[in-house]
Amino acid sequence: MRVEFATEALASYSQALTRLHDLNPLAAQRFAERVSKALRRLGTFPRSGHFVPEYATLPIRQVLVEPYRFFYCIDERRMLVLILSVWHGAQLPAQPDLPAP
């Protein structure tokens, strides 16, 4: 499956990466590599993420790349894993917007 970021999720991830890069460029590079590896794995094993406890009734899963949580949904028809939202683990996440069916 393809893995894509929703616009808002990509902006959140980019901001996190920029903040980390400003503090420690090497740490930002390692984090980006870990994220890339986790997202490639999602493309191969889209159901490997856990359901989100805060939103147990929604078809949303998450993958953790410490210290961030990447929330996603699976669109079987389009063969797509869509990253809906990216939150720091210390934040209480807002309910991610699901794409229109």
Q: What is the mean pLDDT of residues 96-100?
A: 73
- Round the CA-based radius of gyration of the chain to a whole number and report it: 13
| 6 DSSP 8-state letter | -
Q: What angle do CA 72, 58, 66 make, to 5 degrees?
A: 40
Per-residue confidence band for 80, with pLDDT thresholds at 50, 70 and 90: very high
Which CATH number characterizes residue 69's domain?
3.30.2310.20
What is the C-alpha to C-alpha distance for residues 28 and 19, in angstroms, rounded to an integer? 9
Helix count (H) and strand count (E) of the chain? 2, 5
Residue with the larger pLDDT of the pair 89 and 9: 9
The answer to whether position 99 is within a domain reads: no
The answer to whether position 42 is within a domain reads: yes
Q: What is the pLDDT of residue 101?
A: 62
The count of domains in the chain is 1
Mean pLDDT of the chain: 93
Per-residue confidence band for 100, with pLDDT thresholds at 50, 70 and 90: low
The backbone torsions φ and ψ at residue 66, rounded to the nearest 5 degrees and listed phi first, read -45, 130
